[in-house]
């Protein structure tokens, strides 16, 4: 297929060039934003006296009709018209007549697409923030329900110290709260309107760019026309924030995979968020968590694509930027679907309180508390650490936990271990309550943290 071009280039475009040049298959996703920006531009042209108010009204009405046709699936995207902008303008002109050709006055596709992308990014970031808020609330709700459920903490995937499930769930939530902050920061920095920057050096028509920016809901107009049309760091920043979010979702997903295994048995996912095996009838697989882990790889790929895309561009629009859309479209799609799926999975999950509490019975999880007990008896911590290490070794040799050793065996390690407070030191429930520092797992502290988290997420 060849495409005829007017004006400067008389010859038809080669079919291979047409395939490379056409972007409507991807950028048609910007149609809402393109129409919104075009309506504001039409009104801006009227304020500048370039169009009459009647012409502007005709253009706006025509654009609304085009939007309705797209919404209903009636408009067929024409690849011969290259992109979303030309498709919409052609359909508009067919509806309103020659006045449709006036819409592009004082505008380039360079500032047009830059504006569309910021409108799109703002819209999808708002959607991502809403989804993330739902996930944060779901985790906090589970933390409230499980306030009395004790479990071990882990380092190196080995049982470490006693804690409570609510404290662990709130650790998930803290990561996600920072993700929310990164998205909000990126949203604040992209809050500028490029419309009126033209191709690269602005326009000779007296557009009120600040008025157009306000009409589109932006805080201000971009300050430099070259930067406005050639920079996509706002997409890099968003994709970076989404990639970090993806990594955090993947970490949560990894724990769900581990915890739902028969070896751990800490969590049972609902059937709605599980799959079965095509071969083994007994299987119930935590595919929701595994798929979320997989999405993290795609999110990392999206930000890498955007970084590499712009790294060698001069200051002024380069057609390379046509390729900036698929990475950011994919990033939002993958992040939002992952957040929503994980929200449902966590909200409907059941935690196995018996298995979580039983896990405290292995791994000598109160060894540090026994060392702390010795410190309170005047033993230097390094010496106490060595003494309790010997106690653990003795217990391992007997195949028991340190709490199962007799008083005589403990006293052999150190005379102070014959005291009345040893039993308390070796009780996981009391060990958790002793950890009452800010940010610790004692019940009062966790209840404070839940209240704080609930207030933050709303």
User: Which segments of 313-435 does DSSP mark as H helices, in order?
Assistant: 325-347, 353-358, 367-376, 381-398, 407-413, 422-425, 428-434
- What is the β-pairing status of strands 158-164 and 220-221? unpaired
- Which residue is listed with tokens 């996509």? 232
168 is catalytic: no
CB contact at 8 A, 306 and 236: yes
Q: Which of 285, 247, 248 is nearest to 269 (CA)?
A: 285
Quick check: 44 and 211 in contact, CB under 8 A?
A: yes
Angle between helices 325-347 and 233-259 (to 10 degrees): 30
**In 3-state terms, the chain is what percent helix, strand and coil (to 5)?**
65, 5, 30
Question: Under DSSP, is residue 443 helix (H, G, I), strand (E, B) or coil?
Answer: helix
Looking from the CA of 364 toward its CB, the CA atoms found within 13 Å total 18
Catalytic residue among 277, 305, 385, 436: 277
| Nearest-10 Cα torsion for 204, 209, 212, 217 | 150
Region of residue 156 (phi > 0: left; psi between -120 and 50: alpha; otherwise: beta): left
List of long-range contacts for 185-189, beta carbons under 8 Å, 24+ apart: 185/237, 185/241, 186/125, 186/234, 186/237, 186/238, 186/241, 187/122, 187/125, 187/126, 187/129, 189/234, 189/237
Residue whose C-alpha is closest to residue 428's, from 148, 120, 72: 148
* Active-site entry in 156, 230, 261, 305: 156
Is 41 designated active site? no
Catalytic site positions: 156, 277
């Amino acid at each position: 297929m060849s495409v005829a071009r007017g004006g400067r280039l008389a010859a038809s475009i080669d079919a291979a060039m047409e395939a490379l040049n056409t972007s409507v298959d991807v950028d048609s996703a910007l149609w809402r934003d393109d129409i919104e920006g075009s309506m504001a531009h039409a009104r801006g042209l009227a304020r500048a006296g370039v169009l009459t108010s009647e012409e502007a009204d005709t253009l706006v009405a025509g654009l609304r009709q085009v939007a309705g046709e797209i919404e209903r699936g009636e408009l067929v995207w024409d690849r011969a018209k290259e992109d979303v902008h030309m498709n919409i303008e052609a359909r508009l002109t067919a509806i309103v007549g020659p006045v449709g050709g006036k819409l592009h006055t004082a505008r380039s596709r360079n500032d047009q697409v830059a504006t569309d992308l910021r409108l799109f990014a703002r819209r999808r970031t708002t959607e991502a923030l809403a989804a993330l808020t739902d996930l944060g609330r779901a985790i906090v709700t589970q933390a409230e329900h499980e306030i009395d459920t004790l479990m071990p903490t882990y380092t190196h995937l080995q049982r470490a110290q006693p804690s409570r499930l609510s404290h662990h769930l709130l650790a998930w939530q803290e990561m996600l709260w920072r993700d929310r902050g990164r998205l909000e920061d990126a949203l604040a920095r992209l809050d500028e309107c490029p419309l009126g920057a033209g191709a690269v050096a602005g326009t000779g028509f007296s557009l009120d760019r600040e008025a157009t920016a306000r009409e589109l809901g932006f805080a201000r107009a971009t300050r430099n026309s070259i930067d406005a049309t050639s920079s996509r760091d706002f997409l890099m920043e968003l994709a970076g924030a989404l990639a970090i979010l993806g990594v955090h979702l993947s970490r949560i997903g990894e724990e769900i995979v581990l915890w739902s295994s028969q070896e751990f048995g800490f969590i049972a996912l609902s059937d709605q968020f599980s799959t079965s095996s095509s071969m083994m009838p007994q299987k119930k697989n935590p595919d929701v968590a595994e798929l979320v882990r997989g999405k993290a790889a795609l999110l990392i790929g999206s930000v890498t694509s955007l970084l590499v895309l712009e790294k060698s561009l001069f200051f002024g629009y380069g057609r390379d930027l046509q390729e900036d859309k698929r990475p950011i479209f994919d990033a939002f799609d993958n992040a939002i679907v992952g957040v929503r799926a994980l929200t449902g999975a966590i909200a409907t999950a059941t935690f196995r309180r018996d298995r979580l509490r039983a896990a405290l019975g292995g791994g000598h999880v109160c060894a540090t508390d026994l060392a702390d007990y010795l410190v309170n008896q005047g033993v230097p911590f390094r010496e106490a650490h060595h003494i309790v290490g010997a106690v653990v070794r003795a217990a391992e040799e007997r195949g028991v936990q340190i709490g199962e050793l007799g008083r005589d065996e403990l006293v052999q390690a150190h005379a102070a271990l014959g005291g009345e407070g040893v039993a308390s030191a070796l009780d996981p429930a009391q060990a958790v309550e002793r950890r009452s520092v800010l940010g610790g797992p004692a019940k009062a502290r966790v209840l404070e943290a839940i209240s704080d988290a609930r207030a933050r997420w709303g």
